[in-house]
Amino acid sequence: MDISKLKRRNEFLWEIEKQGEMLVPGWIFADLELIKEMDEKVYEQLSNVACLPGIQKASIAMPDAHWGYGFCLHPDSEVLMDEGFTIKIKDLENVQSRVLVFKGKKRKKLCSASIKKFFKVKPYNRILKIKTDLGNEIIASEDHPFYTQHGMLKAGKLKKGDLIATYLFRGVCCSKPSNRVIVNEKLVLEKLESLGIDRKSFRARLIITKLKQRELLPLGYNHPKISILIKLVGFLFGDGSMNFIGKRRDGILSFSGKKEDLEIIREDIKKLGYTPSPLHRNGKEFVVNASSLLVLMYCLGVPLGNKSKQRMRVPAWLYKAEPWQKRLFISALFGCELRKPYPRKDKKANFSAPVLTVGKEKKLERNAYEYLNDIKNLLNEFGIKVLYIKKHREHKAKDGTVSVHIDLVISPSTENLIRLYEKVSYLYNSERKWLADIALAYLRFKHEILEEKEKVIPVVEELLRKGESYRSIAKALATANPISERFLMDMCWKISKGKKDISPLVPKTFPTFEDFVRERTKGLGKSGLVWAKIKEIKEVDYDEEFVYDLTVDDEDHNFIANGFVVSNCIGGVAAFDPEENGVISVGGVGFDINCGIATLKTNLTLDEVKPKIKELVDELFARVPAGLGRRGEIRLSREEQFEVMKEGAKWVVEKGYGYEEDLDYIEENGRVDGAVPENVSETALKRERGQVGTLGSGNHYLEVQYVDEIYDEKTAKAFGFERNQILVTLHCGSRALGHQIGTDYLKILAAASRKYGIKIRERELVCAPINSPEGQRYFGAVNCAVNYAFANRQVIAHLSREAFKKVFPDAELKMFYNIGHNTVKVEWHDVDGNKKRLYVHRKGSTRSFGPGREELPKAYREIGQPVLIGGTMGTCSYVLVGTKEGEKISFGSVCHGAGRTMSRHQAKRTWRGTELVKLLWEKYGIYVRAHSMPGLAEEAPGAYKDVTKVVDVIHNSGLAKKVIKVKPLGVVKG
């Protein structure tokens, strides 16, 4: 985060000063290190929350805050990846390829970035279809940002005629390569012998070793580095060469070109594990001294030595490659050899035919034709037509050697050039690539105009048959350019006279290519992007179940979908006064309503439990259902569902899942008033069935812990803690019921926001006035999920007791505290000296009242509220105590955990669940049982912030005070 935007109020409090439409400032609790790590969007979202009606004091983010994201695109939207292929956004959940990003803030160029997060959600607002005058279109939700001349604007703010950034190169659709091997050790040894190197020699063994060290042998179609190698093969067929030189016969590969292009090639070579030389010859050449790389390229079909003096064909293995891999070869070759796009001066809006020329000695003329026919066959696979292949000229050198130059000429028709520049284009040649990108846009612009004219011709013919006059037809059909009255009158005359050639032409006002470049690339540099004019934008019916979005690991936060540059879309506290038109918001509560933590104290010690930890965790694993969609032992009828939603933990205790005294140590005694089951949808009720007493998946867990450190002896004693005492902590919420309630009310509150004229800046901030029918309806549904979550944690707590009793018959487990951290509650707070009744939203935030509050259990009323802050699997957790100072500053609220720094998808790419289980047991003595190994990897400790740093901010800022630190012995995960 750019901290220059923030005012530092003290060491741990940063302020976004009130500005624009903000009603209050935004506060972030963090130290210098944590504030720098936070995403810029935390700043933006805090500012947006601060604009909501009736907000009090400040919008507040805790040190574990992380950015929430929007979901905006149709599932079939094609996202452009950096390897030149597209993947539908719905298929990107488990894809490791990098996306293309437009660096619009500084460099005005395209770069690549990794995908950090993948999201899908049911649409909640209007869905729009946008079409441009360059022919591309996209379906997106109205809140999805697009890159315009005025920066990122949401689709709902765009209108016909607005200019929007587009990048029309599409490459080809992605397809999964086979695992077939292209180069193995046997082939390398055979090629070495053909080069005069004994397969048993030290040099042969060294070359094999070097390739294996770089993990380039064996090499298959699905090798992680195959894309780089294919591009280099294509370049070496063009402006590169390789040979053995000198007495030692060092393998040297030479690359020639422009400096900026050669630097890209050098970076690719480094990715293979080789070291290229610096640029020389005024930055026009570099070499790589690496016999192993030369031999690998030779195995891949690259000619050795002067290409004009030897036979060469497109490598046979390439024909079995995927289309996107073939495209890499052709594009890299074209970057060297295919003429750049060149507009014709004698024929407006047309380009000269692209030509690829091969020079060979006269005796190899036939091979030149064979090679160019190979290229022609590859182009045919992309629908690109070659006009002809023929000899261009012969040349006789001074030494009498005759050489021939053979041309492959590509059809310059508009449709053919569009396919060429849209699917293949150029690689390793930024100037030609940029020209091709702009030429593609220009030709698409031309094509759209001509197509529009073509469509009207049958209509004109039909009206003429009906006897309509030229003038009446022209007036009825004219829509200004390109369907002008003049064009229609001319078309009527040609059809009436029986003219055969009535194909429309571009209008005289059609811009030259130079004018198009000047007008359509202003402010976009040589990125290849152009400004497209919105031709149509309209609301459409949406039949798909979900809309999708990505977040990427780049400061510009965008990617390219269907040719459009689109943006990828916090835990905190906000309190609203209903007497000041305050609102209630889905985003302020979250979807896992009343997700929370319950901790039980035991009469056991570390020394007693550690020897039996495996047996104990196995028993817990067997008794407590966990995992996505898992069902528990309690099956509720419709009437019982309503009872649980109204009575909460009290209902399950009465059914034998716990003791009466447990209720004294649950927030709100395990039940809030105001639950209205009738406000919960049938879908939510169906999804709930059988989930009371289940952990669920994600970051939910059940841990056996021990007290590791005591910071406040007096409070620890009052809470009943001793060093090395065994505790049990569980983390879960309202399961599918809460999630469905959140999803259902996104649409309901979105409509309410529009109805009551509330300006919404973030999709999840849809809201309704607290006192409105919609607001109270949502509050009644939320309270149902709150009570359900209290019941859920109570059942799991009691199942844990039974598991302990099985392993330790004398074990006693007493409820210490059970509290939620995704809630909205009615509380009294002091605001500027006035007592106010507020609706306090805590999303990923835990209540932390100080001493004296009546809401606290009697046993803790004089001490302060216990605050439970969970760590991550394998790390410590904390118990703190609330303070009166914290009540004054943050409405008695603190963080709830560590906060993610890495997406679940990225975590799964970084760690394997089985490896984590082994590491945690062998290195830390923590025994883990999980229902899903990929799910376990998602929750790796490295995917989260350091919980100790987060807790230290809370402690040092006075919001709450540390009491004890606990460490895990055993973990049960979904």
Active site residues: 896
d(CA 35, CA 18) in angstroms, rounded, equals 19
- CA proximity to 295, closest of 372, 405, 425, 184: 184
d(CA 444, CA 414) in angstroms, rounded, equals 8
d(CA 295, CA 288) in angstroms, rounded, equals 13
d(CA 548, CA 119) in angstroms, rounded, equals 6
The residues, any chain, with a CB within 8 Å of residue 761's CB and separated by 6 or more, are 48, 51
The residues, any chain, with a CB within 8 Å of residue 469's CB and separated by 6 or more, are none
Burial of 606 (0-12, 13-18, 19+ CB in 10 A): middle
* Three-class SS state of 540: coil
H-only helix segments in 166-258:
185-194, 202-213, 226-236
d(CA 304, CA 312) in angstroms, rounded, equals 10
d(CA 81, CA 73) in angstroms, rounded, equals 17
* Three-class SS state of 571: coil
- CA proximity to 262, closest of 85, 28, 429, 469: 429
The residues, any chain, with a CB within 8 Å of residue 63's CB and separated by 6 or more, are 29, 30, 31, 34, 895, 899, 945, 949, 950, 953, 954
- CA proximity to 442, closest of 379, 383, 528: 528
Burial of 958 (0-12, 13-18, 19+ CB in 10 A): middle
Q: What b/e string do you get for 618-633 counting C-beta neighbours within 10 Å, with b at 16 or more?
A: bbbbebbbbbeebebe
The residues, any chain, with a CB within 8 Å of residue 844's CB and separated by 6 or more, are 62, 64, 65, 570, 571, 572, 590, 821, 822, 895, 896, 897, 899
- CA proximity to 392, closest of 401, 403, 402, 405: 405
Please give the structure tokens belonging to residue 740: 């469905």
d(CA 318, CA 177) in angstroms, rounded, equals 12
Contact between 869 and 877 under an 8 Å Cβ cutoff? The reply is: yes
Q: How far is CA 754 from CA 121, 122, 568, 760, 767, in A?
A: 21, 19, 24, 9, 9
d(CA 43, CA 48) in angstroms, rounded, equals 9
Q: First CA to last CA across the chain, in angstroms?
A: 34
Task: Write a three-state SS string for 507-523.
Answer: CCCCCCHHHHHHHHCCC
Pairing between strand 26-29 and 59-61? parallel
Q: At what angle do helices 470-477 and 430-465 cross, to 10 degrees?
A: 130
State the residue for tokens 């399961």.
735
* Three-class SS state of 630: coil
d(CA 146, CA 140) in angstroms, rounded, equals 10
Please give the structure tokens belonging to residue 363: 């005796």
Q: At what angle do helices 365-381 and 323-337 cross, to 10 degrees?
A: 130
The residues, any chain, with a CB within 8 Å of residue 251's CB and separated by 6 or more, are 242, 243, 244, 289, 290, 291, 292, 293, 294, 295
* Three-class SS state of 61: strand
H-only helix segments in 308-406:
323-337, 365-381
